[in-house]
Chains A and B, each alone.
Chain A
Amino acid sequence: MESPAQESGRRIYELVRRRREGTISRRAFVQAVTALGLSMPLAAMLERRGLAALQESAPSGEITIVLPRSLVALDPHGAQSVEEATAVISSHVFDTLVVRDAATGELQPRLATSWQAIDETTWEFKLREGVTWHDGTPFTSADVKASLERVQSLEGPLAPLWALVTEVQTPDDLTVIFKTSEPQGTIPVSAALFFVTPAAHSNDEGFFDNPIGIGPYKFVSWVRDSELRLEAIPDHWAGAPGVQTLVFRDIPEVSARVTALETGEIDFTFGLPADQLPALAENSELRIDSTPSYAYYFNWFNCSREPFTDARVRRAMAHALDLDTIVNDLLQGVGVRAQAPIPSTIFGFAPQTPYEYDPEKAKALLAEAGLENGFETHVIWNPGSGPQDRELVQAMISYWAEIGVTVESREMERAAWLDALLALDWDMDFQTNTVRTGDADFTLRRLYVSSANRTGYANPELDTILVEAAAAADPARRQELYAQACKIIWDDAVGIFPFELLENYVYRTRLTDFVPTPSAVPVFTSVKIAE
């Protein structure tokens, strides 16, 4: 998918680099560059100025980054594969076949240069030539095949995305073919989350304690719960990163993290509570980049439990909340009102009619359902899952009390919460969720088809729509189907979808050229240090 212009640009870049290293003569350089279509004077100028430019852009300096949650493992295929911390490190050390452009949301070539559906159940990816692992081994289709099989066999959270892939074929070193048992339009989208690791080593004992990567940074060292260091690959095929050394420190306590940012001990962090932001915004040494994200809050109803079996009760609960006030008071700078069961950043998003704040209507709906005296219920939640979660739960409970519904807040540690959640052992569940792929399929089909039975809600019509949407290869058709799905889930109030979240990246002003990402997986390749 690389244009001819891009291609020759890359070659010129490569030549300039080699000239700088002194591996080719001035004469050979000018010849090679003119052969690529540049005029002689231009080639001569490039010889002089291009070198200077390249020298300036050689990676330099060190920046320290703190992620919101501790890094647990580097293996991008296993149990931790959807953890943001793991994805951040993987994005630098490893690489994906395609990448979602942070600004446009479009899929861009990365380790794959092009891809296409050959027929309904076959996807073909052409791989980039001349890419090597950090130990010098060439990157081939065998690495892709081994990595995909590893994802499937480890049964981690990403495995379901590839469950329909029955076979990976490698007709040559630079071609990979995925065969699926049913039509699956989401393969390229899923490929943006799929990190390739070296086939020769991935199953070695301890490989991920000291991995060999392929990305713009190579792994140097990691002391768990303390510090991880990466060094730039100056001659990376996609160009040299701006910063020589990335240090990822672990500081779990918010006060300590904010203090470290203010004192300059660290350069970059994100995922801070809303109440920390105003003070940081006033600090002239810091900059905040705010961007819509893939994350959002929902408050699910257990639709198989009384009284939430009745859609009127669910809608009443939605009408009871003054979401505009809550956003204004509690979520300023970190969240906005959601308009659909998925965030507006997601492919497949379609805005819905908001449930307006109307306690009288809520009471009337309850009365219709025979609950004029209200009822008692509970909400389960796991603290730390999102910004201001405790305050939000308290605020919602306060509003529900106004319409006569007494809600007990059941705060649970993660393992116990997960247990209860999966066992459908709850009345309401409040949590954040992230549409990791940026595509509605990841969230809607996984969570709302009847067979998943995540909310006790079963709707054959919705099932048909979601399955068809996943199979379709045509984006326009998929968009249309997801719009229908959003409407059904929203109008039936399977849950309340109150807020979508913003991601706030806070960093010291000496960093420049950072590109904010909606995925909460920031990439530092473009970052430079201003002196």
Chain B
Amino acid sequence: MTPYLLRRFAYAIFVLWGALTIIFVTIRIVPGDPASMMLGAGATEEDVAALRHRLGLDEPLPVQYVQFLGDAIRLDFGNSLWLNRPVLSSIGERITATARLAVTAMAIALLVSFPLGILAALKKRTFIDGLVSVVSLLGQSVPSFWLGIMLILVFARQLRLLPSAGSDTWKHLVLPSVTLALPLIGVLTRLVRSGLLEVMYEDYIRTARAKGLDPRSVLVRHALRNMLIPVVTVAGLQLGNLLGGTVIVETVFGWPGIGRLLVDAIFNRDYPLVQAAILCITATFITINLIVDISYVYLDPRIRLQ
């Protein structure tokens, strides 16, 4: 397993470098400039030029790039231009808030989609199956901001059951995590269903059945276990995406997550903050997917990491 991990680590470094390089270049190509954003609409050209010089933005791009890579290796990302404080502390706070939301949403999605998916598979091609399929698709078929606002209007404004926005208590967590979970339920339910159906026709399951084993124990011991691989893969990818921030849901519900921080940072052309945020998000994503890959070994003894 060690050589495997080493290789994966090398890949991870490559992917991180690639992501950082892409962001470094693109954010500098994009029109807009941190100096004029900091100075506002009243600034003169000389003011902007002076500030650009102070920030080192007038250096040639390759010089800036080498400087940036050097700093990145030492994990020194400097201060945010816009918040005027160390970027890593801002990002740390935000990733925690986003993680709370993402993990809750994923938990809800898994808790709902397993029973739904199994039900649909067992009642294959019945009315129930069709209903589950349509309901699970429905969650994916509405824009999340529309869904979020509707949930606020119904549960906060009309019913007064839940708070509309904020992040203080568990009650604040309900609406945003449900908004995030609904599309996931759609994806995962269908995966559970199709995974289960697929496995049920594998030879070993047929054999187990032919041997007269109780169909229910076959389902639990063999089928469910094997179906976990696609589910875990996709759940891992999705969790990685969610941890990268969910700017829309964070905006609608006033949640202080990394997605909003990142988008605001881009809109403000806050180069240091954008670069560090991308690094953290990419690293989180890679880590989660590595965990997913390693988990395969435990889910399916036939798989060997190579």
Contacts and interface: CB of A to CB of B under 8 A. Distances in A.
A–B contact (CB under 8 angstroms): yes
Interface of A: 70, 72-73, 75, 78-80, 82, 155-157, 159-160, 206, 208-209, 223-227, 249-253, 255-257, 259-260, 262-263, 265, 413-416, 418-422, 446, 452
A226 B82 contact: no
A155 B256 contact: no
Contacts of A257: 164-165
A413 B267 contact: yes
Contacts, number: 143
Contacts of A157: 39-40, 42-43
Contacts of B114: none
Contacts of B44: 160, 452
A459 B220 CA distance: 85
Contacts of B264: 70
Interface string B243-275: 000000001111110001100100111000000
A452 B47 CA distance: 12
Given A251-B254, A255-B153, A263 B51 contact: no
Given A79-B81, A157-B42, 15 more contacts: A72-B83, A79-B38, A156-B39, A157-B43, A159-B47, A160-B42, A160-B44, A224-B261, A225-B256, A249-B165, A251-B254, A253-B165, A259-B165, A263-B157, A415-B30
A224 B250 CA distance: 13
B50 A155 contact: yes
A507 B156 CA distance: 18
B144 interface: no
Most buried by A among B85, B94, B254, B268: B254
Given A155-B50, A414-B267, A263 B254 contact: no
Contact of B267 (A224, A227, A415): A415
B36 interface: yes
Contacts of A262: 157
A73 B48 CA distance: 20
B37 to A, nearest CB: 5
Contacts of A250: 254, 256
A384 to B, nearest CB: 11
- Pairs A-B, 8 closest by C-beta atoms: A415-B32, A79-B38, A225-B256, A157-B40, A226-B256, A251-B254, A256-B165, A259-B164
B20 interface: no
Contacts of B33: 415, 419
Interface string B142-157: 0000000100110011
10 contacts: A72-B83, A79-B39, A157-B40, A206-B85, A251-B254, A260-B166, A416-B30, A422-B36, A422-B45, A452-B44
A253 B84 contact: no
Contacts of B40: 79, 82, 156-157, 418
B1 interface: no
Contacts of A224: 83, 90, 93-94, 256, 261
A65 to B, nearest CB: 13
A265 B90 contact: no
B160 interface: yes
A154 to B, nearest CB: 9
Interface in B20-65: 30-33, 36-45, 47-48, 50-51
A419 B36 contact: yes
Nearest to A446: B42
Contacts of B153: 255, 259
Contacts of B168: 227
B149 A253 contact: yes
A250 B256 CA distance: 9
A156 B38 CA distance: 7
Interface of B: 30-33, 36-45, 47-48, 50-51, 81-85, 90, 93-94, 97, 149, 152-153, 156-157, 160, 163-168, 251-256, 260-261, 264, 267-269
B149 A155 contact: no
Contact of B166 (A155, A249, A422): A249
A98 B251 CA distance: 37
B82 A263 contact: no
B122 to A, nearest CB: 41
Contacts of B42: 157, 160, 446
Contacts of B30: 415-416
Nearest to B37: A415
A155 B47 CA distance: 7
A348 B177 CA distance: 53
A463 B39 CA distance: 24
A72 B81 CA distance: 11
A266 to B, nearest CB: 9
A410 B165 CA distance: 32
A226 B261 CA distance: 12
A73 B90 CA distance: 12
Nearest to B166: A249
B152 A256 contact: yes
Contacts of A78: 38, 84
A249 B45 CA distance: 36
A256 B149 contact: yes
B43 A422 contact: yes
Contacts of A421: 41
B171 to A, nearest CB: 11
A341 B121 CA distance: 70
A415 B252 CA distance: 22
B233 to A, nearest CB: 33
A205 to B, nearest CB: 8
A80 B270 CA distance: 13
Contacts of B32: 413, 415-416, 418-419
A265 B163 contact: yes
A420 B163 CA distance: 41
A62 B210 CA distance: 71
B132 to A, nearest CB: 31
A160 B43 CA distance: 8
